[in-house]
Amino acid sequence: MLPSILDEERDIIMLLNFCIIILLLLLANYLMGKIRLPGLLGMLLIGILVGPYCLNFLHPIIIQHEVMNDLKTFALIVILLRAGLGLKKESLHKVGKTAIFMSFIPGIFEGTAIMIISTYLLDFSWFQGGILGFIIAAVSPAVVVPQMLELKEKRLGEDKQIPTLILAGASVDDVFAITIYSTFLSLYLGKNVNITEQIIKIPISIILGIGCGIIIGFILYYLFKKLHIRDTKKVLILLAVCVCFNALNAYINTLLGIMTVGFILLEKIPVVANRLSDKMNKVWVFAEMLLFLLIGAQVNISVAMKAGLMGIIIIAVGLIFRSIGVIIATFGSNLNFKEKLFCIISYIPKATVQAAIGSVPLAKGVAGGEWILAIAVLAILITAPLGSIGIRLSSDKFLDKNIEDGKIIKYY
């Protein structure tokens, strides 16, 4: 009898703990809105404060590594489905070539620059520098995608499909960064790695992701067409299928595949897809809070401070070269100077990948792993707020707004 009473008390404490945190997240989101800043910054700050490295208010079950990863993955799936359900074929046609260039050129420029400078400033080997460089080089879909969807809703930049360009490029950017990082880590650990094979894996992963997304999208299209069920149940089926699909992420780019599922549904059954998108927006209200709470909870400010001025210089150099990469990637496009500058700002935020794998080199025994972790954490603290605020402030000034009658309002 006693164990069951203790278990019940523990469950009540955990539920109470979680409810208090939800209220704090809602309050933080509200206060950020009042001062015209992205709500995610407030949520990230709450995550840092209640996390294990600060007040340690989060219940131990919530901060277990497996639980945190599963919850973050679910939130990412929600936002990627929202993105896919808002992507139209005509929009992708407009940004096709530029989106491909944006998916790898900026990241390669940034990762390579950090790799080189770290050999001078931190006395790293090329392998250590490559590990650091391509951990930092990954842009954060968790930060970028929601803000691009918000711009699409406001119809900002829609004439040249700039939010779609950023969405498409950012969704593939991580694939390149993580693959190159994994290659450098394997080389450092003395494993036999075929670099040509690793490079070939990138397009194969992307093609497989899109291909599987198309198949799943068509299956769901026929299922939803035949079965007359409520939209709420369709959303649950869609989420369940995409969560199962994401389990294949060791072999294919499931993130891009999940976006493709939404894209297919929008192409085949646009009326239903729009209703599902509205439902998904409601799910995102909760998923967003979870995502940024958990990302914030993984941020150890004391570790970030160890990187100090050296870490700031490395991050700054990386961002400068990423900006050069964006300029090169958009060369020859129809974007004007201010729109290219907006693309540069939109590619600043780091959070998701750095929080997920920043500690892996240290755990694997990589020399200088503590520096890699510290700079990864510092990158989140600097670039997530900087990029988020930059997107919010620059979008109205640098992007045109489409209105229903086809006219365009210029904000500059």
Nearest to 293 by CA among 22, 14, 19: 22
pLDDT score, position 329: 94
pLDDT tens figures, 352-411: 788 878 888 888 888 888 899 899 989 988 999 899 999 999 988 898 876 544 444 443
What is 64-409's CATH topology? Na+/H+ antiporter like fold (1.20.1530)
User: Residue 54: which pLDDT band, with cuts at 50, 70 and 90?
Assistant: confident
Half-sphere exposure (CA, 13 Å, Cβ side) for 66? 1
Whole-angstrom distance, CA of residue 299 vs CA of residue 52 = 9
Mean of the per-residue pLDDT values for the chain? 85
pLDDT score, position 222: 92
Whole-angstrom distance, CA of residue 392 vs CA of residue 37 = 7
pLDDT score, position 410: 44
Q: Which of 2-6, 53-57, 89-93, 133-137 shows the lowest mean pLDDT across its residues?
A: 2-6
- Kindly tell me the burial class for residue 290, based on how many C-beta atoms sit within 10 Å of its own C-beta (0-12, 13-18, 19 or more): buried
2, pLDDT greater than 50: no
pLDDT score, position 27: 92
The stretch 1-8 carries a mean pLDDT of 52
pLDDT tens figures, 253-274: 788 889 899 999 999 999 989 8
The stretch 56-75 carries a mean pLDDT of 75
Question: pTM for the whole thing?
Answer: 0.83
